[in-house]
A and B are shown apart, each in its own frame.
Chain A
């Protein structure tokens, strides 16, 4: 009884710790949206840097926090879901920020795909905006010209992007390292130029009046009217975004926590070691390149339906750079890092509009400071754990061998 008592209070304080941190992070994010003025931004940036540096300085603090979240996964998860679901209520009076939040979600989806390529397998892809364009234009053209239902165009946008990435993969296969980056940059520019000049993509005017997403006849472009109150139509997209981000994040997390993740990491860290361990490098690179681009394409298709109007300037090189920055700054091969990185890099410049003239100066400065303090990203790569399975076998092996050791000594 006595031994279980301190453990109990400990787990309670862990729960308080986890919930406290969760709610604090959420409150900070909402404060960023709701409070006008620059000071809240400075507070937020300083807090993020401080937390990031502290967790590196005091690793036991980090393990305690992650253990607190893991042990209370059900409660923190449930609270997290509720907090995310009520966002549209809190942001009721500022649909602009709700829109920005959905946009952030689209960046998260694309960055999760890019992270599979760049973070997990070490393939630099600087054409992610071009692949987003494939998704967006596929969805746009299918619904405008053929009247295909948006549920299908969303999936088609993703798959067509995957197919086109096989095209790029042929030259990619022949190159590596910096050359691979150059090939993808060339591809990025080619795609934008083509979109600008092709007749059927609408040229510089792009595609207009792409119908909003709809599900079983319910159009996502309509305001949600509850009688006593109403919500902006972005609310629809917000919930759709949540569902898709959760699905993609779970898929990415599962890939990471499997032998596929280990295989990709080996290809990233040492190609020669991978080859001589029997890994068919090109097959895995192709697979992950295609899957990553499917994520990116889905994000593009979503964007087309939400905004209703796409044109080449939506998919320029700068967007590719932002996505790469998200992966590097957020944390390579770390899904949580990708989410934090997206929030920071997408929302920061919007918030900085207050000081419009120096906006990108400050933006760049923040990036440089971040990279100085956290060169491996805000939430750095973490070693895979094999938890229960590892512990079980460790016990068994130690047990059996301690028996045989004594036998040996007798013999």
Chain B
């Protein structure tokens, strides 16, 4: 009962310093279960750094990250991934020489039963597991774009940008995450592709009955239409928080961020 009210992830005075630079400065955020949270702010305001700390790639200088009642401080990236946080990256991190299928299969690594020994001596296990993995991967890909299915055996590098992004989201979803971090998913896309992408993100939410999403995005139309709640960062500090409409009326936010785009 209590669990439902507790935030899925919360940070307490989360701080990271690179030399003299306070990249993230005493940030407190709470992420409500099964919601979509938008994380916005000008370039260099610490959004990706927040993601890197949440996934264990950076070690915070001080403060705490609680995920589902457990601190993530001192945990390795793979341990955090196995607890249910997965992510995509601003600059795509697909393995472009590997097939689309391989890229999605990697997402299921945590549940993998085969090991080096069984790879050589127990092909039955390998074949069965691979068969199930292929099925799951195809189903995931189908949610996003049935057109990718026929290209599942091609190297990921041959896909257009938007499909690569979809494959990356599929890889993240293959882990069956409870928290999905999307780092500027619309980067490098046309307006048409961006609206397709928004649909995709909503599909992700519908496809799973327990998933929380944090999205870093510069395109405000995306933030406006899909997020429940928005947090604004500037120079590593949280300057505002609330529903999108509320945020846009915030004077400090306008000055820091939207003000620059006031003409648009």
Enumerate B106-150 residues with CB–CB distance to A below 8 Å.
106-107, 109-110, 112, 114-116, 119-120, 123, 126-127, 129-131, 133-135, 138-139, 142, 146, 149-150
The 14 sampled A-B contact pairs (Cβ below 8 Å) are A259-B119, A259-B129, A262-B106, A263-B112, A272-B89, A275-B81, A278-B81, A279-B106, A383-B98, A383-B99, A384-B99, A389-B130, A394-B150, A401-B146
**A277 at interface, CB cutoff 8 A:** yes
- 7 additional A-B pairs beyond A381-B97, A390-B152, A397-B139, beta carbons within 8 Å, are A259-B130, A270-B94, A287-B116, A389-B127, A390-B101, A393-B134, A401-B146
Asked if B179 is an interface residue, CB under 8 A from chain A, the answer is: no
Assembled-state Cα–Cα distance A158/B261 (Å):
66
Q: How far is the CA of A389 from the CA of B105 in the complex (A)?
A: 14
- The answer, yes or no, to whether A291 is at the interface (CB within 8 Å) is yes
A174 to nearest B CB, angstroms? 15
| Chain A contact residues: helix, strand, loop or mixed | helix
Instruction: Please tell me if B87 contacts chain A, counting CB pairs below 8 Å.
Output: yes
Contact across chains for B116 and A279 when beta carbons are under 8 A apart: no
Chain B residues near A278 (CB-CB < 8 A): 78, 81-82, 109-110, 175
Chain B residues with a Cβ under 8 A of chain A: 55-57, 76-78, 81-82, 86-87, 89, 93-99, 101-103, 105-107, 109-110, 112, 114-116, 119-120, 123, 126-127, 129-131, 133-135, 138-139, 142, 146, 149-150, 152-155, 171, 175
> Which of A263, A274, A278, A386: most chain B CB closer than 10 A?
A278
State in angstroms the CA–CA spacing of A390 and B141 once bound together.
13
| Residue numbers in A under 8 Å from B127 (CB-CB) | 389
Contact indicator B95/A277 (Cβ below 8 Å) = no
List the A side residues contacting B55 at CB < 8 Å.
276
Complex Cα gap A304–B232 (Å): 68
Known A278-B81, A278-B109; contact A259-B139, beta-carbon cutoff 8 A: no
Partner pick for B106 among A266, A272, A401, CB 8 A cutoff: A266
Q: Is the CB of B109 within 8 A of A397?
A: no
Is A273 within 8 A of B138, CB to CB?
Answer: no
Q: Which residues does chain B contribute within 8 Å of A270, judged by CB atoms?
A: 93-95
Pick the residue among A272, A287, A390, A398 that contacts B93 (CB under 8 A). Answer: A272
**A275 & B153 in contact (Cβ 8 Å cutoff):** no
Set of chain B residues within 8 Å of A258, measured between Cβ atoms: 114, 119, 126, 130
Question: A386 to B101, Cβ gap below 8 A?
Answer: yes
Whether A273 contacts B94 in the complex (CB less than 8 A), given A259-B133, A389-B130, A389-B134, comes out as yes
In the complex, A406 has a CB within 8 A of chain B: no
User: Which chain B residues lie closer than 8 Å to A383 at the CB level?
Assistant: 97-99, 102, 153-155
Nearest B-chain residue to A269, judged by Cβ: B95
Cβ–Cβ < 8 Å partners of B103 in chain A: 266
Query: Is A36 engaged at the interface, CB distance under 8 Å to the other chain?
Result: no
CB distance from A267 to the nearest CB of B (A): 10
Answer whether residue A81 sits at the interface, using C-beta atoms and an 8 A cutoff: no
The reply to whether A401 and B142 contact each other, CB–CB distance below 8 Å, is yes
B65 to chain A, nearest CB (A): 15
A277-B107, A279-B106 are known contacts. Are A259 and B93 too (CB-CB below 8 A)? no
